[in-house]
Chain A
Amino acid sequence: MNKTADYVIIGGGVIGCSIAYNLAKKGAKNILLIEKKYLTSGATGRCGAGVRMQFGTETNCLLAKNSIEIFEHLGEELDYQDSIEFKQGGYLLLAYTEKMVEQFHKNLGVQHKLGIPSRWVTPEEAKEIVPHLNTQGLLGATFCGKDGHCNPFKTTDAYAKAAQRLGVEILTYTEVTRLLAREGKITGVETSRGVIETPTVILCAGSYSRDLAATIGIELPLTPERHQILVTEPVEMMQGPMVMSFYHGLYCQQVPHGSFVMGLGDPNEPQEYNQNGSWQFLHEMAAKATFILPPLAKLRVVRQWAGLYDLTPDRQQILGSMPDFEGVHLAAGFSGHGFMIAPMTGKLMAEHILGEETSLPISMFDFTRFARGELFVEPSVV
């Protein structure tokens, strides 16, 4: 296979597919998306599928709020014949320490300035929102009813199909093995099925973006970190919101299908490419979930799995272009919250790649912030 493309997007997760659609919608032609396995085989198909506006930094709040507004009409926008299973049952973020109470109030301040309808709730009010919540030790919580869930497989499928209708070509089971450059300019990519010549590469391969960037001598501060998760059998609807505790590193939501999806962050997790599930996780997850939400003890776990976060030093994504190379754009490092901001990220990246003014500022997400030491840590992540 020897061919050419105007744009090569590397990675068939929700980010790559959203960028592909948005580029094509803006009229860009000859776009090729390359995925080493199948669409959603990376973090996207392994994620907790939660979407929320309740963040701690203004930029993430804005990305998330705009994305949720897009999710609200995404099925129609993409003319999807199936359902993306978007649900707005809210997110209840639990506070167990004075420090968290203080941080959450700060976050509410940021959120309210941007018109995000979040609010502080007492333990009693939290129990009205989630009647089976154990409020032992709980100091309060924040709640935003616009937050919720969306199905990552269907969302990615919807973007991919809409992109294909606009002429995007998607190559699955094809691995990019190397980026090709000459005199500071991208000239193409080498794949497991041959060379593809292109002046523009968009790297959205999760943590593997680091390995690909390294092939042209660029060092990206991305580290893979395993995160584990499980799903229960489906039951009658009993829990509206995602319940999330940064104290326990836990999140748990009942999805429209009826099953509960829950996961944990492990502060001792080594940073490596490991996607195997562990027995310890099942025990710890079960203990914590049944403490916070006792009736869940009756539910059967049907499946556990793991996926990789692509962490950056400040747990904020990298969006923009490589400074010393012509034709290399990057959207990676989502640090565990890339699904929910994919709609807006795709739109902003398409604008940026085409040299337009972006609808929201993205310069603070630039790769060069690490060299400048201008990190801005997102406080509200598991």
Chain B
Amino acid sequence: MCEAKNKDLIMMCRCEDITLDEVRDYINQGITDLEQLKRLLRIGMGPCQGRTCTPLVVNELAKATGRPVKEIPLTVFRQPTTPVKLGVLAGGIDYE
């Protein structure tokens, strides 16, 4: 597999361009709380709200801490669940 050579090219978060290496680097610094990783790396803060990256990060956290995946608390999903234009929210029809 490409993992050995191109580790830094494995994308964890497509919205914010965050690689597996960056995530592991933070975890190795001792940041093993998903809430903290989200806020310091912006992982899960992009338009998809972590739909892609959160399960991947949780797996990494489980591996690093030896805790089962289901015991790792998830972060809060915030509204809106899909991005909406301000113009639409303001009641304009031109932006739909």
Residue ranges of A at the interface with B (Cβ–Cβ < 8 Å): 37-41, 45, 82, 153-154, 157, 172, 232-233, 257, 277, 279, 282-283, 285-287, 289-290, 296-305
Q: Do A282 and B80 touch (CB < 8 A)? A: yes
24 A-B contact pairs sorted by A residue (CB < 8 Å): A37-B35, A45-B39, A153-B39, A153-B40, A157-B40, A232-B86, A279-B79, A282-B79, A286-B86, A286-B87, A289-B86, A290-B86, A290-B92, A297-B86, A298-B87, A298-B95, A299-B85, A299-B86, A300-B85, A300-B86, A301-B86, A302-B45, A303-B49, A304-B79
Residue from B79, B86, B94 with most neighbouring chain A CB atoms (10 Å): B86
Q: Do A302 and B85 touch (CB < 8 A)?
A: no
User: Judging by beta carbons under 8 Å apart, are B79 and A277 in contact?
Assistant: yes
Q: Which of B57-95 contact A (CB under 8 A)?
A: 78-80, 83-92, 94-95
Cα distance, A153 to B35, chains bound together (Å): 11
Count of CB-CB pairs between chains A and B under 8 Å: 86
Q: Confirm or deny: B52 has a beta carbon within 8 angstroms of a beta carbon on chain A.
A: no
CB distance from A284 to the nearest CB of B (A): 9
Is B46 at the interface (CB under 8 A from chain A)? yes
Which listed residue (B47, B85, B90) contacts A283, Cβ 8 A? B90
Cα–Cα, bound, A30→B35 (Å)? 27
A302 with B35: CB separation less than 8 A: no
- Judged by a CB distance under 8 angstroms, whether B8 is at the interface is no
Q: Which residues of B contact A290 (CB under 8 A)?
A: 86-87, 90, 92
Instruction: Report the Cα distance A303→B48, complex, angstroms.
Output: 10
Give the 8 A-B CB pairs with smallest separation, nearest first.
A297-B87, A286-B89, A300-B83, A286-B90, A153-B39, A303-B78, A286-B86, A287-B90
B83/A301 in contact, CB under 8 A: yes
Give complex CA distance A298, B87 in Å.
Answer: 6
Complex Cα gap A172–B83 (Å): 33
Per the bound structure, the CA–CA distance linking A113 and B46 in Å amounts to 44
**Given A298-B85, A304-B79, 19 more pairs with CB closer than 8 A:** A39-B36, A45-B39, A277-B78, A277-B79, A279-B79, A282-B80, A283-B91, A285-B89, A286-B87, A286-B89, A286-B90, A297-B92, A300-B86, A301-B89, A302-B49, A303-B45, A303-B49, A304-B78, A305-B78
Interface centre among B47, B88, B91 (most CB of A within 10 A): B47
Partner among B33, B47, B88, B89 whose Cβ is within 8 Å of the Cβ of A233? B47
Nearest residue, chain B, Cβ from A290: B90
Q: Is the CB of A38 within 8 A of B33?
A: yes
Chain A residues whose CB sits within 8 angstroms of the CB of B79 once the complex forms: 277, 279, 282, 303-304
Residues in chain A near residue B45, CB distance under 8 A: 302-303
Task: Kindly list chain A residues whose C-beta atoms are within 8 Å of the C-beta of B89.
Answer: 282-283, 285-287, 301
B14 within 8 A of A: no
- Chain B contacts of A154 at CB under 8 A? 40
Distance to closest chain A CB from B49 (angstroms): 7
* Most-contacted residue by chain B among A233, A290, A296 (CB, 10 A): A290
Cα–Cα, bound, A282→B84 (Å): 10
